[in-house]
A and B are shown apart, each in its own frame.
Chain A
């Protein structure tokens, strides 16, 4: 398996991803790993119907995503992986996703969340998951665009006094 990029972004597949990231990471497969969407036939059908024509897209639960990545028949795919929240990223990491870096895209404001950057808001639960990912050796960056500097996301959490 070649996971070219893991993006934590609660908009999942959206303009920035489709227009700039897929090309920048030379990805040919979008993987959405989300239990809720994988169990919702309407959302699944809708997302697949509006996917960019030039790439494959698979929508799987977190467990199915791990199984997919272990299947040798997908070895040649260049996967751009999207998860909605750091908790799912942590499940993937602990389930054997061998990715050293994960990138934080957009995380919208939610009840009780605190601001990290203009586009990233985190809850206490999110902070815990980020901390565990970091402690288990995953480098966390915060890049909206492929051209953005590789900001250290843990440093941003510290600057926001959330660590």
Chain B
């Protein structure tokens, strides 16, 4: 069952990272439609990865002027550059590098009726805000509880 209103998303990364992220997403939020994964293997060149990304987009039914978002693991690295090279003939493609789990959860669950541009911007914000210093959060909460004489 494919819903055409759901914006197509690809994940691309070094080795098993992207498929691992997809596994984590589906463990938390259940199966996802219009989501595919492409790996950079040690023997790959950038062109090969670009081709696999292109094939994946076509399989998801994304026309040359169609919208989609590709998430890559590392800015300036082969998977992100392979995605970037598709911009030559796909002007409405969005690419976000530095993908992380909270960013992906945030955007994958709200993909209906959203433009690729909006999704990409939302992803960057969510990704930045998701990074937290847990040690610091807990230590200051413990200190606050101690100084107020107990947990509320």
Binding site for B on A (CB under 8 A): 15-16, 19-20, 41-42, 44-46, 48-50, 144-145, 147-148
A-side contacts of B46, CB under 8 Å: none
Known contacts A20-B109, A50-B134: A45-B142 contact under CB 8 Å? yes
Kindly report which residue of chain B lies nearest to residue A41, judged by CB atoms. Answer: B151
A42–B143 Cα distance when bound, in Å, is 11
Q: Is B77 an interface residue (CB 8 A)?
A: no
Say yes or no: B137 contacts A16, CB within 8 Å.
no
B-side contacts of A50, CB under 8 Å: 134, 137-138
Tell me what chain B mostly uses at the interface: helix, strand, loop, or mixed. Answer: helix
| Residue in B28, B109, B137, B145 whose CB lies within 8 Å of A41 | B145
Say yes or no: A20 contacts B141, CB within 8 Å.
no
B-side contacts of A46, CB under 8 Å: 138, 141
Q: Is B30 an interface residue (CB 8 A)?
A: yes
| 25 intermolecular pairs with C-beta atoms under 8 Å apart | A15-B27, A15-B28, A19-B29, A19-B105, A19-B109, A20-B29, A20-B30, A20-B109, A41-B145, A41-B150, A44-B151, A45-B138, A45-B142, A45-B145, A46-B138, A46-B141, A48-B141, A49-B137, A49-B138, A50-B134, A50-B137, A50-B138, A144-B30, A145-B29, A148-B30
Say yes or no: A48 contacts B29, CB within 8 Å.
no
- What's the least CB distance linking A108 to chain B, in Å? 14
Q: Top 10 nearest A-B pairs by Cβ distance?
A: A49-B141, A15-B28, A145-B30, A44-B151, A45-B145, A45-B141, A41-B151, A49-B137, A19-B28, A45-B151
